[in-house]
Amino acid sequence: MRRVAGFVLFIILIGVIGAGAWLYTTVDHPYKGYAEAETFVEIPQGAGPASIGRRLVEAGVVRSRSSFRLALWLSRAGRRLQAGEYRFDHPMSPRQVIDKIARGDVYVRAITFPEGLTVKQMAALYETRGFGSTQDFIAASRNIALISGLDPEAPDLEGYLFPDTYTLPRKATAAQLVTRMVASFEKALTPEIRQQALARGMGVRQLVTLASIVEKETGKPEERPLVAAVYSNRLRIGMPLQCDPTVIYALDRMGHYNGNLTRADLQLDSPYNTYRHAGLPPGPIASPGRASLAAAAAPADASYLYFVSRNDGSHVFASTLDEHNRNVQEFQVKYFNDRRKARN
């Protein structure tokens, strides 16, 4: 009897070991059945476990439907599988695959648009990062219906594509990205900012235009309200803005900007030339960030009319022309003369 009992226990032990080995091989053993370095599996919205298992098997991500079903039953994750595109680039067990899909670890790529870019520059960045063509982005940026409620006069989306980092599915289109960028802009343009601008007599287009100028003229975040004050004060007294970035924008629109702004360029006959035309230019010259929108809506309480670069990213501000001329002498004329002497 003892021998029989021992033999039975031995058989049971062998069975348990065999079952464990089979379970590991079926559910927990990493597998890679695709020859390429990576493969993508698209799981449509509403797809059931059977459909998902079939797609994974066909893509070589899991060995068989039975192993997928068993792993799914053991994980109790059947109702948590999420739609999306998934990237696989190394061997994974069925359990690991299911866990990845249950987490919704879909494949996305990130693209960052810094503050102060034009639509043209954004389009070039979009293509450089491998998301699509410049032409597609430019075409999408002409969908003015996206902002018709905010700015019915807008000829395009210049200024309304919010600078931020966006994560995109592999097959996202330029139109989808642009729609998200406009939605982000609308979120950044809070009711408080709009109310502050309205109290100063500015509509959305005027606000965004001023904010875009502040964005292009400011190197240090803390100076934005001061730069906004300078241009707001000039607008209030009818003084030309005399803003170099507006002229650069005009030249670039014409395809004539080569990276250098000359005195002759300041005579350019363009409504964007704020040396020749008083008031704001016809529209935004770049995409402002949230801080520049806030500064344009609520400038600093300062009497400044002028500012000049200290050549370190910051500026020195002045309320009178005499004071400004002294600053120019110190931070521009003297600075560059001293550098010239040092080189010689």
Could you identify the residue written with the tokens 């799981």? 43
135-144, 272-281, 319-328, 330-339: segment of lowest average pLDDT:
330-339
- The secondary element (H helix, E strand) that includes residue 129 is none
**CATH match of 305-344 with 2.60.120:** no
Q: What is the pLDDT of residues 275-327, one digit of tens each?
A: 999 999 999 999 999 999 999 999 999 999 999 999 888 999 999 999 999 99
Say what the pLDDT of residue 340 is.
75
Q: Tokens in use for 42?
A: 């698209």
Residue 20, pLDDT > 50, answer no
Residue 21, pLDDT > 50, answer no
DSSP 130: T
Which residue intervals of the chain bear CATH 3.30.160?
305-344
CB 214 within 8 A of CB 227: yes
Mean per-residue pLDDT, 121-126:
97
Say what the pLDDT of residue 90 is.
95
**Share above pLDDT 90 across residues of the chain, in percent, rounded to a whole number:** 80
Residue 343, pLDDT > 90, answer no
Confidence band, pLDDT 50/70/90 cuts, at residue 37:
very high
- Show Cβ contacts of residue 249 under 8 Å, excluding neighbours closer than 6 positions: 118, 272, 281, 285, 286
**Between residues 295 and 332, the one the model is more confident about:** 295
Confidence band, pLDDT 50/70/90 cuts, at residue 26:
low
Residue 148, pLDDT > 60, answer yes
Say what the pLDDT of residue 229 is.
98
CB 210 within 8 A of CB 232: yes
The CA-atom distances, in angstroms, between 2 and each of 14, 15, 185, 318 are 18, 20, 81, 104
Mean per-residue pLDDT, 95-116:
95
Residue 15, pLDDT > 50, answer no
Say what the pLDDT of residue 1 is.
57
For the chain, how long is the longest CA-to-CA vector? 115
Q: Tokens in use for 26?
A: 């079926």
Confidence band, pLDDT 50/70/90 cuts, at residue 178:
very high
Residue 17, pLDDT > 50, answer no
Could you identify the residue written with the tokens 């009897």? 1
Q: What is the pLDDT of residues 238-263, one digit of tens each?
A: 999 999 999 999 999 998 898 889 99
Residue 65: other Cβ atoms inside 10 A: 14
Residue 40, pLDDT > 90, answer yes
The CA-atom distances, in angstroms, between 187 and each of 71, 72, 164 are 43, 40, 12
Which residue intervals of the chain bear CATH 3.30.1490.480?
27-106
CB 158 within 8 A of CB 253: no
Q: Tokens in use for 19?
A: 């079952």
The Cα angle at residue 254 between residues 252 and 255, in degrees rounded to 5: 60
Confidence band, pLDDT 50/70/90 cuts, at residue 332:
confident
From CA 38, how far away is CA 55, in angstroms rounded?
15
Mean per-residue pLDDT, 195-213:
97
Confidence band, pLDDT 50/70/90 cuts, at residue 7:
very low
Q: Tokens in use for 105?
A: 């670890």
**Between residues 72 and 336, the one the model is more confident about:** 72
Confidence band, pLDDT 50/70/90 cuts, at residue 274:
very high
Say what the pLDDT of residue 8 is.
46
CA 142 distance to own-chain centroid: 18
Which three-class secondary structure state does DSSP give residue 167?
Answer: strand
27-106 folds as Dna Ligase; domain 1 (3.30.1490)
